[in-house]
Amino acid sequence: MTLTTYSLYLAAVAVLVLSPGPTMLMCMTTSLHSGRSGGVASAAGSISAVMGVMTLSALGLGALLAASELAFTVVKVIGALYLIWLGIKTFFGNADAIEIGKSAAPVGQRLRSHYARGFLVGSSNPKALLFFTAFFPQFLNPGEPLLAQYGILALTFVAFEFTVLTTCAFGVSAIAPALRSARPMRWINRITGGLFATMGGLLLLSRRHA
Dist. CA 39–CA 93, nearest whole Å: 18
Residue 176 lies in a domain: yes
Residue 12 lies in a domain: no
Q: What is the tens place of the pLDDT at every residue in 67-123? A: 566 766 776 777 677 778 777 877 776 554 445 445 545 777 888 888 988 888 887
Residue 180 lies in a domain: yes
Sign of CA dihedral 8, 14, 17, 21: negative
Give yes or no for residue 193 having a pLDDT over 60.
yes
Q: What is the tens place of the pLDDT at every residue in 1-29? A: 778 888 888 888 887 788 777 788 888 88
Residue 107 lies in a domain: no
Residue 112 lies in a domain: no
Q: What is the tens place of the pLDDT at every residue in 117-153? A: 888 888 776 666 667 766 677 777 777 777 888 888 8
Query: Which pLDDT score is estimated for 101?
Result: 46
Of 93, 119, 76, the C-alpha closest to 193 is 93
Dist. CA 78–CA 168, nearest whole Å: 26
Query: Which pLDDT score is estimated for 185?
Result: 65
DSSP annotation of 133: I
Residue 105 lies in a domain: no
Residue 104 lies in a domain: no
The number of domains in the chain is 1
Query: pTM of the entire structure?
Result: 0.71
Most confident of 30-39, 183-192, 200-209: 30-39
Parent domain of 60 = 36-93+117-205
Residue 2 CB neighbours (<10 A): 8
Dist. CA 195–CA 116, nearest whole Å: 20
Residue 132 CB neighbours (<10 A): 23
Residue 86 lies in a domain: yes
